[in-house]
């Protein structure tokens, strides 16, 4: 396969140094998808880029352009800050295998481009693949990528891009101040661990076996903070991001911009629930208090006035006693008169009429 690729590059006149760089050869299972990065120099930043299919430059057909809408089959993303355009081909089948050109459209003169080969295999036939072409990690943590292969055991982990020459690690080492360790204990799999991550660790990497590559995009960002009640805490637990093994690459569409995840606390929600409970309760207590006071005042005024003005009269007993004439002239018996206090708290004088009598005894 390496000989076939070399012959193809010689025939198309693409050997040597180019201002546009991309992979050489990738294998993908039928029904899967593949994302291919294409790096270009700053002079092509504002140019229209397009993907062209066909091994002959003169006879290739346009598939997708950066100034056109994406389709379900093809997706393009142009990151002009990093100088990379990414082509994604979905739902690959036998008719999708062949040569593709990553081309910069020129206003004057012939267009400039570079090519790569996509080979579509049956289930389990991919020679080199990863479980996911997109991996995200956090600053200070580590990530793990499994590269599955079916022939050579000299798989390398490389970083590529337009910012400089490709840097590769075979067993362990450093790439862009990021520590890289490769484990080969599992047959058919090399496990790449990137640790001591930093923001500049983000970029395009690939597993490579001579002319055969499988691109992987790595994004490293700040760990989001978690707010609980009124205290803001930052989770500092280190996590290892391990990509599990599978027999088929996962469908993926690469987008240059990562969404921002916002974390919100529960303090505001709890306060709103508490207020919605307290306010109705206070209104209910106020209504009950007013009702009780009104009932008490009405009850005091309910009794009739005749019941409050009842009077008590105590009568004396008159006894006949023989006395002398002198005594009879002086003795007079008076009735006892009492005042009754009404229920309203006022002492009312009772008009009692008394008739006095003089009793004279004759011998």
Give the mean pLDDT of 19-38. 94
Percent composition of the chain: helix, strand, coil (DSSP 3-state, to 5): 20, 35, 50
Show the beta-strand stretches assigned E in 73-188. 74-79, 84-89, 98-104, 112-121, 128-130, 134-138, 142-149, 156-160, 167-169, 172-175, 178-183
pLDDT at residue 149, rounded to an integer: 92
Residue 86 CB burial class (10 angstroms; 0-12, 13-18, ≥19): buried
Name the strand (E) or helix (H) holding 40.
strand 34-40
C-alpha separations of 148 from 2, 170, 186, 248, 249 in Å: 18, 15, 10, 10, 10
Q: Please write the tens of the pLDDT for every residue from 169-184.
A: 998 899 988 999 999 9
pLDDT of 357 > 80? The answer is no
pLDDT of 250 > 80? The answer is no
Can you read off the two tokens belonging to residue 62? 């346009």
Selected residue with higher pLDDT from 163 and 96: 96
What's the CA gap between 340 and 21, in Å, rounded?
Answer: 118
Domain extents in the chain: 2-242
Give the mean pLDDT of 102-129. 92
What's the CA gap between 160 and 176, in Å, rounded?
Answer: 11
What's the CA gap between 164 and 170, in Å, rounded?
Answer: 19
pLDDT at residue 304, rounded to an integer: 52
Give the mean pLDDT of 341-350. 47
Matching CATH number, 2-242, of 3.40.50.300, 1.20.1250.20, 2.40.50.140, 2.60.40.10: 2.60.40.10
* Strand 25-29 to 112-121 pairing: parallel
pLDDT of 214 > 80? The answer is yes
Q: Please write the tens of the pLDDT for every residue from 31-70.
A: 999 999 999 999 999 999 999 999 888 889 999 999 988 8
Selected residue with higher pLDDT from 328 and 61: 61
């Amino acid at each position: 396969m390496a000989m076939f690729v070399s012959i193809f590059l010689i025939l198309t006149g693409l050997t040597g140094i180019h201002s546009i760089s991309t992979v050489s050869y990738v294998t993908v299972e039928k029904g899967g998808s593949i994302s291919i990065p294409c790096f270009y120099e700053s002079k092509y930043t504002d140019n229209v880029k397009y993907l062209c299919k066909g091994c002959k430059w003169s006879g290739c057909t346009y598939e997708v352009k950066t100034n056109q809408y994406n389709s379900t089959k093809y997706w393009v993303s142009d990151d002009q800050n990093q100088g990379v355009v990414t082509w994604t081909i979905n739902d690959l089948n036998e008719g999708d295998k062949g040569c593709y050109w990553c081309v910069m459209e020129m206003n004057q003169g012939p267009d400039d481009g570079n090519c790569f080969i996509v080979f579509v295999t049956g289930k389990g036939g991919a020679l080199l693949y990863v479980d996911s072409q997109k991996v995200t990690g956090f600053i200070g943590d580590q990530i793990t990528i499994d590269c599955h292969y079916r022939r050579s055991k000299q798989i390398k982990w490389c970083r590529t891009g337009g910012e400089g020459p490709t840097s590769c690690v075979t067993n362990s080492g450093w790439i862009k101040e990021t520590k890289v360790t490769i484990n080969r204990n599992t047959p058919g799999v090399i496990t790449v661990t990137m640790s001591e991550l930093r923001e500049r660790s983000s970029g395009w990497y690939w597993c490579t076996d001579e002319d055969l590559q499988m691109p992987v995009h790595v994004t490293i960002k700040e760990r989001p903070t978690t707010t609980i009640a009124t205290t803001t805490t930052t989770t500092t637990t280190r996590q290892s991001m391990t990509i599990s093994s599978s027999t088929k690459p996962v469908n993926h569409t690469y987008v240059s911009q990562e969404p921002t995840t916002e974390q919100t606390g529960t303090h505001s929600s709890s306060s709103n629930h508490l207020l919605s409970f307290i306010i109705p309760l206070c209104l209910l207590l106020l209504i009950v208090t007013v009702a009780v006071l009104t009932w008490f005042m009405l009850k005091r005024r309910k009794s009739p006035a005749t019941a409050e003005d009842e009077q008590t009269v105590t009568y004396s007993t008159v006894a006949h006693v023989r006395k002398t004439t002198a005594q009879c002239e002086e003795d007079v018996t008076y009735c006892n008169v009492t005042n009754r206090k009404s229920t309203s708290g006022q002492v009312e004088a009772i008009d009692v009429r008394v008739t006095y009598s003089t009793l004279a005894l004759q011998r």
